[in-house]
């Protein structure tokens, strides 16, 4: 039986991952800022799967000390944390130089600096256990520099992907590299609270359930990286990286 720690688990992709992982027979360590949402999700999962174990803790991932305390607390609760999914994130942003540095800084602190803290806390546990699976939720926006309100967001998603890939590089060829696995996910447009305002405009938007099913499948296969859902995002990733800027700009 696998124990999975998910941050940002109170809504959206995190909550749906919790549901789907529970249905597959996993125990869950769930954390997010909203206690009422966590309590409701725990009750929902246990009603559907009474043999599962679900523990919850309130966590604001921008509080570094709290991140380490919560991760260590979950490790003490379960004895072992087999997988950590760094999922918590923020979608705020504004074009650079338009007076909204506050929004861009908040996104940078939540999506990158807080992800660094979560990765440090996860790897502390995995190094002690000499085993584990780190899953970093990046974004298709990490494939190319993005304009306007997406600029800072995309940059943070490149950053978290490189954190995870750097760890994979470090561990490759070492004994710990055989027992600690690293996965980076690049989700395309999957319906969630974060992008509900863009749902009518976004191309290739898929439902939360279907999109998360692709994420969960890739995670359980412990792939190194995956664009999810694979269609259309895997072939589109090549276009996004290599299309001439005038062509790419017309699609954005």
Q: What is the pLDDT of residues 67-119, one digit of tens each?
A: 999 999 999 999 999 999 999 999 999 999 999 999 999 999 999 999 999 99
Report how far residue 136's alpha carbon sits from residue 114's, in angstroms, rounded to the nearest whole number.
Answer: 12
Out of 101, 153, 186, 189, which one is annotated catalytic? 153
Q: Measured between alpha carbons, how far is residue 67 from residues 7, 71, 86, 124, 147 in Å? A: 10, 6, 11, 12, 31
Q: What is the pLDDT of residues 177-214, one digit of tens each?
A: 999 999 999 999 998 776 555 545 567 899 999 999 99
What's the CATH fold of domain 3-251? Rossmann fold (3.40.50)
Domain ranges of the chain: 3-251
CA dihedral 160, 163, 168, 170 (to 10 degrees): 180
Q: What is the pLDDT of residue 124?
A: 98
For residues 207 and 191, the answer to whether their CB atoms sit within 8 Å is yes
Q: Taking 80 as the threshold, does the pLDDT of residue 28 lie above it?
A: yes
For residues 161 and 184, the answer to whether their CB atoms sit within 8 Å is yes
Note the pTM of the prediction, 2 decimals.
0.95
Handedness of CA 169, 122, 229, 246 (dihedral sign): negative
For residues 145 and 188, the answer to whether their CB atoms sit within 8 Å is no
Is 189 an annotated catalytic residue? no
Question: What percentage of residues in the chain have a pLDDT greater than 70?
Answer: 96
Average pLDDT of the chain, as a whole number: 95
């Amino acid at each position: 039986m696998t124990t999975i720690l998910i941050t940002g688990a109170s809504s959206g992709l995190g909550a749906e991952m919790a549901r789907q992982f529970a249905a597959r027979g996993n125990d869950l360590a769930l954390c997010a800022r909203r206690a009422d949402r966590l309590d409701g999700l725990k009750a929902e999962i246990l009603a559907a799967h009474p043999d599962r174990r679900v523990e919850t803790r309130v966590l604001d991932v921008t509080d570094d000390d709290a991140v380490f305390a919560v991760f260590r607390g979950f490790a003490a609760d379960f004895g072992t944390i087999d997988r950590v999914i760094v999922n918590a994130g923020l979608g705020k942003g504004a074009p650079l130089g338009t007076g909204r540095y506050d929004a861009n800084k908040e996104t940078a602190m939540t999506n990158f600096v807080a992800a660094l803290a979560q990765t440090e806390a996860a790897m502390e546990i995995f190094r002690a256990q000499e085993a584990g699976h780190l899953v970093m939720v990046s974004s298709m926006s990490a494939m190319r520099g993005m304009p306007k309100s997406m600029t800072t967001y995309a940059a943070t998603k490149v950053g978290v992907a490189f954190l995870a890939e750097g760890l994979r590089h470090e561990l490759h060829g070492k004994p710990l590299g055989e027992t600690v696995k690293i996965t980076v996910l690049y989700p395309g447009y999957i319906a969630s609270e974060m992008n509900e305002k863009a749902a009518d405009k976004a191309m290739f938007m898929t439902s939360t359930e279907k999109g998360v099913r692709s994420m969960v499948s890739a995670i359980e296969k412990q792939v190194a990286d995956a664009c999810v859902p694979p269609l259309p995002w895997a072939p589109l990733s090549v276009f996004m990286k290599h299309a001439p800027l005038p062509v790419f700009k017309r699609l954005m």
